């Protein structure tokens, strides 16, 4: 079976990475969380004091880009790919609320997108990859053989994110998590460059009422049909 590219886009906390990881593991593909890259840039800018009280100068962030080196490593214990910023595993830190609050604005900066998209395309050049994000099917891999557009009810997404943060010891109220999701969805769909939109040839997956197993089964069936028709 020849390898394909799988692009998964959708709103915040829709379960994109959970599904992407499961698919990658089932298919023996690489998994890349493109949102983690934008989160790393944001974390680095926060650490450097370039973002203060949720505001920054774009030029200050752009100036930092050359100092940022991103790598990914598969962790066999957690069975998932982890993100490294200049050699440091930042998988936990990039999920902090302070990063979530600033990442949409940072990801809207032209030069930041140019750098991240170049890395993403390089990672995907040999196919056999599942990448999730906001512009993967529309912009990063417009020729991906399979494009999914994921969505789910806002309260269900909030609950999932709330549970995830709580399990990591981050105690943020349900309403604060919900406001952040709504805010990021608005920013991500309304920005000038590569906003989140559904690719014309994407298959919509609303997983509000679906278990992880049902989602995986649904997509594996799509892949089987697709590869049968291609091979
Ligand atoms: O998937 P995530 O929630 O970790 O992504 C964090 C932010 O990064 C998201 O709010 C928008 C931005 N992003 C983007 O602009 N393009 C992508 N391909 C992935 C994420």
Tokens of 228: 């049968």
1 pLDDT higher than 90:
no
Cβ 107 under 6 angstroms from ligand 1: yes
User: Distance, CA 34 to ligand 1 centroid (Å)?
Assistant: 7
Tokens of 62: 């752009």
**DSSP for 106-135, written as a single string:** HHT-HHHHHHHHHHHHHHTTTS-EEEEESS
Q: Using CA atoms, how far apart are residues 31 and 80, in angstroms rounded to an integer? A: 8
Q: Using CA atoms, how far apart are residues 151 and 10, in angstroms rounded to an integer? A: 6
Cβ 207 under 6 angstroms from ligand 1: no
Grade residue 111 by pLDDT with cuts at 50, 70 and 90.
Answer: very high
pLDDT given at position 120: 97
**DSSP for 144-188, written as a single string:** -SEEEEEE--HHHHHHHHHHHHHHTT----HHHHHHHHHHHHHHH
Q: Comparing 5 with 230, which gets the higher pLDDT?
A: 5
Return the residue whose CA atom lies nearest to atom 4 of ligand 1.
35
User: Distance, CA 112 to ligand 1 centroid (Å)?
Assistant: 12
Cβ 158 under 6 angstroms from ligand 1: no
Grade residue 78 by pLDDT with cuts at 50, 70 and 90.
Answer: confident
Q: Using CA atoms, how far apart are residues 116 and 114, in angstroms rounded to an integer? A: 6
SS3 assignment, position 141? coil
Give per-residue pLDDT as tens, 159-188. 999 998 899 888 899 999 999 999 999 999
pLDDT given at position 231: 56
> Which of 38, 83, 180 to mutate for ligand 1's pocket (most ligand atoms within 8 Å of CB)?
38
Q: Tokens 């997509």 label which residue?
A: 219
230 pLDDT higher than 70:
no
pLDDT given at position 85: 98
Average pLDDT, integer, range 101-106: 96
Q: Using CA atoms, how far apart are residues 217 and 200, in angstroms rounded to an integer? A: 23
pLDDT given at position 75: 86
Atom of ligand 1 lying closest to residue 13 CA: 3
Grade residue 81 by pLDDT with cuts at 50, 70 and 90.
Answer: confident
Cβ 56 under 6 angstroms from ligand 1: no
- Output the average pLDDT for the chain: 95
For the chain, what percent of residues have pLDDT higher than 70?
98
Cβ 35 under 6 angstroms from ligand 1: yes
Q: Comparing 2 with 186, which gets the higher pLDDT?
A: 186
Domain 5-225: give its CATH superfamily. P-loop containing nucleotide triphosphate hydrolases (3.40.50.300)
What does residue 164 show for φ and ψ, rounded to 5 degrees? -65, -45
Give per-residue pLDDT as tens, 26-62. 999 999 999 999 999 999 999 999 999 999 999 999 9
pLDDT given at position 77: 84
């Amino acid at each position: 079976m020849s390898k394909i590219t799988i692009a998964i886009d959708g709103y915040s906390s829709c379960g994109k990475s959970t599904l992407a990881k499961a698919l990658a593991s089932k298919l023996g593909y690489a998994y890349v969380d493109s949102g983690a890259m934008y989160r790393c840039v944001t974390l680095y800018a926060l650490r450097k004091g370039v973002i203060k009280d949720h505001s920054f100068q774009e030029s200050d962030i752009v100036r930092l880009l050359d100092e940022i080196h991103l790598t990914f490593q598969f962790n066999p214990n957690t069975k998932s790919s982890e993100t490294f910023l200049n050699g440091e595993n930042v998988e936990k830190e990039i999920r902090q609320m302070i990063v979530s609050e600033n990442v949409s604005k940072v990801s809207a900066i032209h030069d930041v997108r140019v750098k991240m998209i170049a890395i993403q395309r390089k990672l995907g050049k040999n196919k056999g990859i599942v990448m999730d994000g906001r512009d993967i099917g529309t912009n990063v891999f417009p020729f991906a053989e399979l494009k999914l557009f994921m969505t789910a009810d806002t309260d269900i997404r909030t609950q999932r994110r709330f549970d995830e943060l709580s399990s990591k010891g981050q105690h943020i109220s349900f309403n604060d998590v919900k406001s952040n999701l709504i805010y990021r969805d608005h920013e991500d769909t309304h920005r000038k460059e590569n906003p989140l939109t559904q690719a014309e040839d994407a298959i919509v997956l609303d997983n509000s009422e679906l278990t992880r197993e049902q989602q995986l089964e649904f997509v594996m069936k799509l892949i089987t049909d697709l590869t049968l028709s291609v091979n």
